């Protein structure tokens, strides 16, 4: 499916199913609304699935992997070879997020959308657009055409996962240097100073952080991204992994699937998807507030509340796995708890 097809015809959530879900929550023996965001999330998923009987049995984590040319500017502790190493480890189940995903029965789907190295590994979905982006401090990261192709990879993957029976998609990414591209995107899209939105990423000292900030400032100055044209911004200072995730949010919404944000990087992708098609927000669920400086800014701009605040900033989808584990527990409460009539306890009054 092409980008222009994906952004039309996204359906609103089913109000009837959400009302029935809210009534089911209110009938459970507990103080009203006492499970907070988890109650709201499950009710929203009922609206997405058009059924109060929410099901999240088959679920996956899509990890978009791509390299960033701006690494040449010394914006990371390690070089691009680490992207390839972690991508390999995602296929053999040895990364942190794989351990988490296995514990809560989530299929991990790593995607090579732009790794610098040519990898032919079983279990790594090859959707490569190019061998990493260009160095945005010297030229645009991608052409507009390459950017749209990367978005369409995500759109079509989300639609295919729906056909395979998946009921929720979590988002993750792997790409050395991608907090630099994400910070550049956040600075332009949120109209904030580079210093406000740029953090230490996977671990930088003061000098490294200064190099990162200066590289972003140079990229914005040279490329002059148009904040009113999000594709232009994404192509000039973004990354292939981020573009792929934009497509996951668009395609997931088109398919009627809940899409779980991870942290700052997937949050920036969600913001771009929202700017392309505001209806996508209906299908977004925020997992946690990243420890990266702009993590909160992005969620605030989207009007989404995190389910978890734990100072996490690992990426790869780890925050999404923690939140999904919490959603699982609350879904058990929703499905299996007794009601007031069975308990012999008087219902709580709905006070204004």
Residue-by-residue DSSP string for 230-289: HHHHHHHH--HHHHHHHHHHHHHHHHT--EE--SHHHHHHHHHHHHH-GGGGGGEE--B-
CA–CA separation, 116 vs 103, rounded Å? 31
CA angle 48–52–56, rounded 5-degree value: 65
pLDDT lower than 50: segments of the chain: none
Q: Which CATH architecture has domain 59-328?
A: 3-Layer(aba) Sandwich (3.40)
Domain boundaries, the chain: 59-328
What is d(CA 62, CA 156) in angstroms, rounded to the nearest whole number?
Answer: 13
Query: Measured between alpha carbons, how far is residue 340 from residues 197, 332, 346 in Å?
Result: 48, 17, 6
The question of whether 316 is a catalytic residue gets the answer yes
What's the whole-model pTM score? 0.95
Nearest partner of 107 among 116, 115, 98, judged by Cα: 98
DSSP state of 345: P
What's the pLDDT at 251? 98
Q: Which two tokens stand for residue 292?
A: 């990266």
Tell me what pLDDT residue 77 has: 75
| C-beta atoms surrounding 7 within 10 Å | 18
- C-alpha 206 chain-centroid distance: 28
Catalytic residue (choose from 118, 316, 332, 346):
316
Alpha-carbon distance of 253 to 264, in angstroms, equals: 20
Residue 352: per-residue pLDDT: 57
Tell me what the pLDDT averaged over the chain comes to: 93
């Amino acid at each position: 499916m092409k980008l222009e097809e994906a952004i039309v015809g996204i359906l609103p959530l089913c109000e009837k199913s959400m009302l029935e879900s809210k009534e089911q929550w209110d009938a459970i023996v507990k103080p009203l609304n006492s499970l907070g965001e988890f109650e709201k999330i499950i009710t929203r998923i009922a609206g997405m699935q058009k059924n109060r009987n929410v099901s999240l049995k088959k679920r996956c984590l899509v990890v978009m992997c791509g390299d960033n040319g701006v690494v040449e500017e010394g914006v990371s502790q390690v070089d691009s070879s680490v992207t390839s190493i972690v991508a390999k480890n995602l296929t053999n189940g040895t990364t942190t997020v794989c351990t988490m995903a296995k514990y809560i029965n989530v299929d991990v789907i790593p995607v090579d959308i732009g790794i610098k190295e040519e990898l032919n590994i079983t279990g790594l979905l090859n959707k490569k657009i190019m061998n990493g982006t260009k160095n945005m401090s010297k030229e645009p990261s991608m052409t507009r055409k390459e950017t749209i192709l990367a978005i369409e990879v995500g759109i079509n993957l989300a639609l295919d996962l729906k056909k395979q029976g998946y009921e929720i998609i979590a988002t993750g990414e792997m790409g050395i240097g991608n907090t630099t591209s994400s910070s550049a995107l956040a600075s332009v899209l949120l109209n904030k100073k580079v210093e406000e939105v740029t953090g230490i990423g996977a671990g930088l000292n003061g000098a490294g952080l200064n190099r990162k900030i200066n590289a972003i400032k140079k990229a914005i100055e040279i490329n002059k991204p148009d904040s009113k044209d999000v594709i232009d911004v994404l192509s000039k200072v973004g990354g292939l992994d981020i573009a792929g995730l934009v497509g996951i949010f668009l395609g997931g919404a088109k398919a009627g699937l809940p899409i779980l944000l991870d942290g700052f990087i997937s949050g920036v992708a969600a913001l771009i998807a929202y700017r392309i098609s505001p209806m996508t927000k209906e299908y977004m669920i925020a997992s946690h507030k990243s420890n990266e400086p702009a993590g909160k800014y992005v969620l605030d701009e989207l009007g989404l509340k995190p389910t978890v605040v734990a100072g996490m900033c690992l990426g790869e989808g780890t925050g999404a796995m923690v939140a999904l584990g919490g959603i699982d527990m609350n879904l058990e409460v929703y499905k299996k708890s007794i009601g007031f009539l069975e308990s012999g306890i008087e219902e709580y009054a709905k006070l204004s």
